[in-house]
C-alpha cells in the first residue's frame, strides 16, 4: 500500500510483511492510491510488486 504514514524503519530492522504479490498497472493503481504523473511509474509497469496490508518491525 502506498502510504505517507509508513512506520519509522532502519536498514538493520527485522520486519515481517503481510500482503499480496501483484503486477503493477498504473491504470489500476492510479485512482485507488491517488498516483499522478504516469511517466514517473513507467519503469514499474508490468513488474511484480508487494501490496502490503501490514508491516511489523521487530526492532
CA nearest to 53, candidates 20, 11, 26: 20
- Kindly report, residue by residue over 16-59, the tens digit of the pLDDT: 999 999 999 999 999 888 899 999 999 999 999 998 899 888 87
Q: What is the pLDDT of residue 18?
A: 94
Alpha-carbon distances of 40 from 2, 9, 23, 30, 36, rounded to whole Å:
14, 25, 16, 12, 8
Average pLDDT, stretch 4-27?
82
Is the pTM higher than 0.75?
no
Length of the chain: 59
Amino acid at each position: 500500500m502506498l502510504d505517507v504514514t509508513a512506520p519509522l524503519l532502519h536498514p538493520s530492522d527485522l520486519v515481517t510483511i503481510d500482503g499480496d504479490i501483484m503486477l503493477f498497472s498504473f491504470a489500476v493503481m492510479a485512482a485507488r492510491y491517488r498516483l499522478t504523473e504516469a511517466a514517473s511509474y513507467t519503469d514499474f509497469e508490468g513488474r511484480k510488486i508487494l501490496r502490503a496490508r501490514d508491516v511489523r518491525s521487530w526492532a
